[in-house]
Chains A and B, each alone.
Chain A
Amino acid sequence: MAKITLEKMKHSYMPSPKGPQDYALKEIDVDWEDGGAYALLGPSGCGKSTLLNIISGLLVPSIGKVKFDGRDVTHLSPDQRNIAQVFQFPVIYDTMTVRQNLSFPLRNRGVDENTIATRVQAIAEMLEVTDMLDRRASGLSPDNKQKISMGRGLVRDDVNVVMFDEPLTVIDPHLKWKLRSKLKELHQRVKATMIYVTHDQTEALTFADQVVVMQDGEVVQIGTPVELFERPAHTFVGHFIGSPGMNVLPAELREGGAFFQGQNVTLEGAVDSAASGRIEIGIRPEFVSLGDTGIAAQVRKVADVGRHLVVEAMAGDHKIAAIMNGPAPLQGETVHLQFKPAQTRVYANGWIATGAAS
């Protein structure tokens, strides 16, 4: 159980990186509180696995420090860091029984047999694998194998952090949900710091108290699921989280206001005076509604996804999605779209540029 600090950390897989494009991780500065549940969310290749391997000690960062509870562990090997990691594909020791698998990390550290027996029993109960303890681990189903590899991490009571690297990839969809809630429950019971890497927003948002969104080796935003949803700090976060993602529309800044296709759009607050470059308006489909006045758009598609309707309308060349509950507009009909001002923001070069309404 430890607080994890990453200090001005950069990593490149090249021996002599030149520009920022050579870095898999660009300048990361984060603090992860002891006992928290964190998710690292981002598309494939954004550097999240690199970050994970740096925390676990499988990689040493090119620049910067990793600290556990303030202690510099940058150059310590994985076993000296007392961490646990669950990999994408379940790693189990084929020739051992489930019991031997679970006791393996303890035995390697010379823990006495009595302690091993009680710890293994406790972990097996927690994971609900007690009845398979004496079976050969190689014959288990993927979800049970993944539970065992999780168990090998949790069996040590001195573990600083448990890391999950897309652990549900090979699990059947109907078991994913079960295993996910099991994970959440485990976190509440063992109180270890947990970091969960995924590219699936549902997994990240249901597991974590705090989600770290990454793109191209950079942390774009750290926040609770609600914060990420309600106030994306970057258009990428808006896109990536939500279904459908945030509408991002090109805009112009004039007289302190934002204009989309010549129409003034009311924002949540004042636009940052330094905002320049590529200016865009961001509004989530959840906060777009139909009205008598507003931006004129032609309905292109209406999809009934069960709980609500997703309306896709074209305002000129720009697609705007809206989520609403009936009655459904007709396809081809011209409607007027209204944006909820408190949720309408301006982004300059991708980054948020409006002050929050206070």
Chain B
Amino acid sequence: MKTENQKAWFFVLPVLILVAFNALIPMMTVVNYSVQETFGNNQFFWEGLTWFEQILRSERFHAALGRQFLFTGLILAIEVPLGIAIALSMPRSGPWVPVCLVLMALPMLIPWNVVGAMWNIFALPDIGLLGYFVNHTLGIDYDMTQNPLAAWVTIITMDVWHWTSLVVLLSYAGLVSIPDAYYQAAKIDGASNWSVFRYIQLPKMKNVLTIAILLRFMDSFNIYTEPFVLTGGGPGNSTTLLSIDLVKIALGQFDLGPAAAMSLIYFAITLFVSWLFYTLMTKDDLN
């Protein structure tokens, strides 16, 4: 005799509560702000979709979004191939493996604001090691506080330094899981090094690479601390990425409504692009 009851729901309850407090409720307060206007005193006025319309039409938002895509695009274009290349050139066995792994993991262990501060000092034209070297030894005019290009070069380099390791470690994990027989078979089949990479290593790394790209996309698209500490969004607005702009609107100008609307649009874009990446990269597995 089988008794049926609804007790199993209790098992789901903890996770429901967790998700509610950790995601749904905060998110709903944002939704709440995004459709209302407030002047403090806990007084709210219904505004409908005005803020969304305003943000989507705002040139300031377009510019920040453009900078954000440029930043993410550049770091993905550099970090993914570079990460794979480093992983390929790392030893697969022997005493150097742990040394390489620790060296690789080191940048990732440093807190984000420390990374920002480090690179800020590092790049200062007169006292920073890098800044001084580039300006005085190489004789190239380099000042990230004055020159937008220099600021961009610095934030990109900083991110590459900080996060390429993630791609390296994930690719490396994919590489070491390939059985020797694959390399032996390829040798026997007369495959070139490029063929080995294209038909054995890359396909076997695909799953971890998908994760690496997704993580790097999300992290870089939502990046705030490092560029904020490094350049503060300047010079001018040249390195004001989406999250920096959002904080300016929300906390600088205290425009909670537009800031909430922008957060939701920001979130939707991140979600959509992640979904797009994932779908494109895994669509081959289905057939």
Interface residues of A (CB under 8 A from B): 53, 56, 58, 77-79, 83-85, 87-89, 91, 93-96, 104-105, 108-109, 136, 139, 149, 152-153
Residues of B within 8 A of A79 (CB): 187-190
Task: Say if the beta carbon of B184 comes within 8 Å of chain A.
Answer: yes
Q: How far is the CB of A16 from chain B (nearest CB, A)?
A: 19
Q: How far is the CB of B194 from chain A (nearest CB, A)?
A: 11
A-B complex: 4 closest residue pairs judged by Cβ atoms: A79-B190, A108-B190, A87-B181, A91-B185
Residues of A within 8 A of B199 (CB): 93, 95-96, 104
Contacts A93-B200, A94-B203, A95-B199 known; A104 to B182 CB distance under 8 Å?
no
B191–A78 touching, CB < 8 Å? no
Task: Say if the beta carbon of B195 comes within 8 Å of chain A.
Answer: yes
Q: Give the contacting residue for B189; candidates A87, A94, A105, A139; CB below 8 A.
A: A105
A89–B188 touching, CB < 8 Å? no
A104–B203 touching, CB < 8 Å? no
Q: Give the contacting residue for B185; candidates A87, A94, A96; CB below 8 A.
A: A87
Contacts A89-B181, A91-B181, A94-B203 known; A83 to B190 CB distance under 8 Å?
no
Contacts A94-B203, A95-B203, A108-B195 known; A78 to B181 CB distance under 8 Å?
no
Residues of A within 8 A of B93 (CB): none
Residues of A within 8 A of B284 (CB): 95
B188–A83 touching, CB < 8 Å? yes
User: What's the Cα separation between A95 and B195 when bound, in Å?
Assistant: 12
Q: Is the interface of B mostly helix, strand, loop or mixed?
A: helix
Encode contact with A along B160-189: 1 for CB under 8 Å, 0 otherwise.
000000000000000000010110110111
A78–B188 touching, CB < 8 Å? yes
A149–B188 touching, CB < 8 Å? no
Q: Which residue of A lies closest to B191 (CB)?
A: A108
Q: How far is the CB of A156 from chain B (nearest CB, A)?
A: 9
Q: Which residue of B lies closest to A135 (CB)?
A: B287
User: What's the Cα separation between A79 and B189 when bound, in Å?
Assistant: 6
B191–A87 touching, CB < 8 Å? no
Residues of A within 8 A of B181 (CB): 87-89, 91
Task: Say if the beta carbon of B42 comes within 8 Å of chain A.
Answer: no
Q: Chain B interface residue count: which class? A: 10 to 19
Q: Which residue of B lies closest to A108 (CB)?
A: B190
Q: How far is the CB of B12 from chain A (nearest CB, A)?
A: 35
17 example contacts (A-B, Cβ-Cβ < 8 A) are as follows A56-B188, A79-B188, A84-B188, A85-B184, A85-B185, A85-B188, A87-B181, A87-B185, A88-B181, A89-B179, A91-B184, A93-B200, A96-B199, A105-B189, A108-B195, A136-B287, A149-B185
Residues of A within 8 A of B200 (CB): 93
Contacts A88-B181, A89-B181, A95-B203 known; A77 to B192 CB distance under 8 Å?
no
Count of A-B residue pairs with CB < 8 Å? 56
Q: Give the contacting residue for A152; candidates B189, B192, B195, B203; CB below 8 A.
A: B189
Contacts A108-B191, A108-B192, A109-B190 known; A78 to B203 CB distance under 8 Å?
no
User: What's the Cα separation between A65 and B287 when bound, in Å?
Assistant: 48
Residues of B within 8 A of A78 (CB): 184, 187-188
Q: How far is the CB of B150 from chain A (nearest CB, A)?
A: 42
Q: How far is the CB of A87 from chain B (nearest CB, A)?
A: 4
Contacts A91-B181, A95-B199, A96-B199 known; A104 to B191 CB distance under 8 Å?
yes
Q: How far is the CB of B131 from chain A (nearest CB, A)?
A: 46
Residues of A within 8 A of B203 (CB): 93-95
Q: How far is the CB of A224 from chain B (nearest CB, A)?
A: 29
Residues of A within 8 A of B195 (CB): 108
Q: Which residue of A lies closest to B285 (CB)?
A: A138
User: What's the Cα separation between A108 and B186 when bound, in Å?
Assistant: 10
B184–A58 touching, CB < 8 Å? yes
The winner among B179, B190, B203 for most chain A CB atoms within 10 A is B190
Residues of A within 8 A of B182 (CB): 91
The winner among A89, A105, A153 for most chain B CB atoms within 10 A is A105
Q: Which residue of A lies closest to B195 (CB)?
A: A108
Encode contact with A along B71-93: 1 for CB under 8 Å, 0 otherwise.
00000000000000000000000
User: What's the Cα separation between A198 and B119 when bound, in Å?
Assistant: 60
Residues of A within 8 A of B192 (CB): 108
Q: Which residue of A lies closest to B200 (CB)?
A: A93
User: What's the Cα separation between A95 and B200 when bound, in Å?
Assistant: 9
Q: How far is the CB of B205 from chain A (nearest CB, A)?
A: 12
A77–B185 touching, CB < 8 Å? no
Q: How far is the CB of B206 from chain A (nearest CB, A)?
A: 9
User: What's the Cα separation between A79 and B179 when bound, in Å?
Assistant: 19
Residues of B within 8 A of A83 (CB): 188
Q: How far is the CB of B184 from chain A (nearest CB, A)?
A: 5
Q: How far is the CB of A177 from chain B (nearest CB, A)?
A: 24
Residues of B within 8 A of A89 (CB): 179, 181
Residues of B within 8 A of A85 (CB): 184-185, 188
Q: Which residue of A lies closest to B287 (CB)?
A: A136
Q: How far is the CB of B61 from chain A (nearest CB, A)?
A: 41
Residues of A within 8 A of B191 (CB): 104, 108
Q: Which residue of A lies closest to B179 (CB)?
A: A89
B184–A87 touching, CB < 8 Å? yes
A58–B189 touching, CB < 8 Å? no
Residues of B within 8 A of A153 (CB): 188
Q: How far is the CB of A303 from chain B (nearest CB, A)?
A: 39
Chain B residues 57 to 111 lying within 8 A of chain A, measured CB to CB, are none
Chain B residues 35 to 51 lying within 8 A of chain A, measured CB to CB, are none
Q: Which residue of A lies closest to B184 (CB)?
A: A58
